[in-house]
């Protein structure tokens, strides 16, 4: 099983491949503003692993929320490969991408995942511990840090700039700084492929969560 992974929810895009023999190769820091970079880096990583495009079995990709341009470029490329190679896409929420790899370090009953959007606005998703696992408490939302309640935030996983940390630290005494990783896209993608959690390209769009409003 060869899983091609794309992480483009942050300012830089990263790609990786999990090959049949378990080799995990990645290229990090591709400019999200250039749609021409992805095909070039994909050919390089395939050459490194002595693979062809036809050897790929599925594409795992972070679906957002995150960088508007990065998500659009990444998913457009993934859709093109999916259509050309007739292989499925494994969509992964960026919230899950930040939560799942770090969840073993958390003991609180509540986890709040915050992803910076713009200004003081963040994308927020809250999880509660129920039936021996964490489940989504409410639908993800876009909200100003200033409007987040200071009560019962549990552990906060924060992905964003350092200059907002003081405000984030006021919301909880337990703040973990996390970043999306293409290696985690691979790991979750392999698991979800085994569980048949794949999607066709029909109606597959990035998860922008809320509309972009520069006045906030």
Distance CA 142, CA 151 (A): 18
Q: Which of 15-24, 148-157, 167-176, 196-205 has the lowest mean pLDDT?
A: 196-205
φ, ψ dihedrals at 8, nearest 5°: -130, 20
User: Over 80-137, what HEC string results?
Assistant: HHHHHHCCCEEEECHHHHHHHHHHHHCCCCEEEEEEEEECCEEEEEEEEEECCEEEEC
- Burial of 12 per CB tally in 10 Å (0-12, 13-18, 19+): middle
Query: Which pLDDT value is given to residue 17?
Result: 95
Q: Which of 8-22, 83-97, 98-112, 196-210 has the lowest mean pLDDT?
A: 196-210
- 12-18 and 110-118 beta bridge pairing: unpaired
Structure tokens that stand for 90 in this block: 């494994």
Residue whose structure tokens are 């021409």: 36
The answer on pLDDT for 123 being more than 90 is yes
Nearest to 101 by CA among 155, 178, 193, 172: 178
The one-character DSSP state at 47 is H
- Helix-, strand-, coil-residue percentages of the chain, each rounded to 5: 30, 30, 40
Strand partners, 129: 134
More confident position, 34 or 193? 193
95-177: which CATH architecture?
2-Layer Sandwich (3.30)
The answer to whether the 3-94+180-194 and 95-177 domains have the same CATH topology is yes
What CATH superfamily classification does 3-94+180-194 receive?
ATPase, nucleotide binding domain (3.30.420.40)
The answer on pLDDT for 35 being more than 90 is no
Whether 42 contacts 4, CB under 8 Å? yes
Q: What is the mean pLDDT of the chain?
A: 88
Distance CA 50, CA 210 (A): 41
Count helices and strands (H / E) in the chain: 5, 11
What Cα–Cα distance (Å) separates residue 161 from each residue in 24, 31, 80, 114, 182?
A: 29, 19, 32, 11, 19
Write out pLDDT tens, residues 137-193. 888 999 999 999 888 778 999 999 999 999 999 999 999 999 999 999 999 999 999
Residue whose structure tokens are 């713009």: 118
Show me where the domains of the chain are located: 3-94+180-194, 95-177
């Amino acid at each position: 099983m060869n899983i091609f992974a794309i992480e483009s929810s942050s300012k830089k895009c990263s790609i990786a491949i999990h090959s049949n023999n378990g080799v995990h190769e990645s290229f990090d820091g591709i400019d999200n503003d250039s749609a021409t970079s992805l095909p070039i880096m994909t050919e390089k990583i395939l050459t490194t692993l002595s693979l062809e495009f036809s050897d790929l079995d599925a594409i795992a990709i972070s679906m957002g929320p995150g960088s508007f341009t990065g998500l659009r470029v990444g998913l457009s490329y993934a859709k093109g490969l999916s259509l050309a190679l007739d292989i499925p896409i494994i969509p992964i929420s960026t919230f899950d991408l930040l939560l799942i790899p770090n969840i073993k370090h958390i003991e609180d009953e509540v986890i709040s995942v915050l992803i910076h959007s713009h200004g003081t606005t963040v994308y927020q998703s809250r999880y509660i511990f129920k039936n021996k696992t964490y489940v989504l408490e409410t639908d993800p939302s876009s909200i100003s840090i200033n409007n987040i309640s200071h009560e019962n935030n549990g552990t906060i996983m924060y992905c964003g700039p350092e200059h907002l940390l003081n405000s984030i630290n006021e919301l909880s005494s337990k703040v973990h700084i996390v970043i999306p990783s293409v290696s985690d896209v691979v790991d979750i993608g392999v698991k979800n492929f085994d569980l048949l959690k794949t999607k066709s390209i029909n109606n597959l769009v990035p998860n922008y969560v809320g509309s972009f409003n520069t006045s906030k």
